[in-house]
Amino acid sequence: MARIKLGMVGGGKDAFIGAVHRYAARLDDRYELVAGALSSTPEKSLESGRVLGLADDRIYPDFEAMAEAEAARTDGIEAVAIVTPNHMHAPAAKAFLSRGVHVICDKPLTATLQEAQSLVAVAEASGALFVLTHNYTGYPLMRHAKAMVAAGSLGDIRIVQVEYAQDWLTEASDAENKQAEWRTDPARSGVGGSTGDIGTHAYNLACFVSGLTLDSLAADLQSFVSGRRVDDNGHVLLRFKGGARGMLWCSQVAPGNENRLTLRIYGDKGGLSWSQENPNVMEYTLFGKPTQILTRNGASGAADGVRIPGGHPEGYLEGFANIYVAAADAIEAARTSAKSDAIYPTVQDGLAGVVFVDACVRSSAKDAAWVSV
């Protein structure tokens, strides 16, 4: 099967997530990066593209030029990875979707709810696929956890505790750091700061594993660093349809936490606990029995998406790559209009994430009043 010809929008020099997407696309040899509009200026785009070995005629000054030119080529790209700041997701994605190019887009879906709704409409009208890289759902143990919940291993879910804590924005260095600079600018990041950047991950993962749908939330958001224009910490009460309750905490000002996304789910039969910083183990307790340490590819069986034996740790890039694998499965099936059972975060998941951020911001503005989602 021929490798999928991939383009990339964003991800030039100094970008963090663009390189991650390239590792993820490359790991399983299902994609070939052939085109890009990698930076905000034509000069930087050209420079970045050459570093990646792209042909000069497929390095574009902007995504519009790229979408038009690639769509016109017989050997044009089949899919595009969009890895820009959030406010560019919607316009870029629309340019490709409307030309039938599949989109693999970083999260959150968009900077605003309005953009998200508009993008959903375009995505659903187009014949192209839309894959959102909520990469934490690609971790094998998170897929295993989802399967366990679905199989009733925890019983009826009562409680969902999810948190995503970082510390890199503890001090007011936003302007000094390229990552901080756009992520704390509401015009590019969106109205949510930590809620949009990492809260959406936590929310998506909690729903993915638990299988639950949120009913309403009450959020108390803060900007602890003086002068910061978006939230850097958020405490959210969660009420799920069907009666389960939970809490979500996201913070980028919690010293000692590098990237601590932790999910705990409790039902009337059992509970589980997992933390992203050591993603190869998960604790599972059947009520009344000793806690078990489940490993990614160990005695409890191989979780979906493993590449190597238990005890040989897989990490963030491998989990991320599992989203690319699912996207490749779906794209290859789409070539022949075959059915695909590939599971990946969709544009609807992306909309749900933006709805979540929007609801958090609205609730917080009303003194943490309950807001339905």
Q: Which lies closer to a second copy via its Cβ, residue 68 or residue 171? A: 171
Instruction: State in angstroms the smallest separation of the CB of 89 from a second copy.
Output: 21
| Secondary structure letter of residue 285 according to DSSP | E
Is position 362 an interface residue for a second copy (rule: CB under 8 A)?
Answer: no
Report the C-alpha gap between 63 and 364 in whole angstroms.
36
Buried b (16+ CB within 10 A) or exposed e, 317-347: bbbbbbbbbbbbbbbbebeeeeeeebbbbbb
Is position 314 an interface residue for a second copy (rule: CB under 8 A)?
Answer: yes
Is position 240 an interface residue for a second copy (rule: CB under 8 A)?
Answer: no
Report the C-alpha gap between 288 and 270 in whole angstroms.
9
- Pick the binder of a second copy from 184, 262, 295, 322 (CB under 8 A): 295
Give the three-state DSSP class for 131: strand
Q: Which lies closer to a second copy via its Cβ, residue 130 or residue 305? A: 305
Here's the x/- map for a second copy, 49-68, by CB under 8 A: it reads as ----x---------------
Considering only residues 29 to 48 of the shown chain, the ones binding a second copy according to CB under 8 A are 29
Report the C-alpha gap between 320 and 137 in whole angstroms.
8
Q: How many CA atoms lie within 13 A of 11 on its CB side?
A: 28
* Structure-token pair, residue 226: 């003086």
Is position 78 an interface residue for a second copy (rule: CB under 8 A)?
Answer: no
- Pick the binder of a second copy from 43, 68, 124, 268 (CB under 8 A): 268
Is position 177 an interface residue for a second copy (rule: CB under 8 A)?
Answer: no
Residue range at the interface with a second copy (CB under 8 A); choices 6-14, 118-126, 315-323, 337-345: 315-323
Is position 289 an interface residue for a second copy (rule: CB under 8 A)?
Answer: yes
Q: Which lies closer to a second copy via its Cβ, residue 92 or residue 248? A: 248
| Secondary structure letter of residue 308 according to DSSP | S
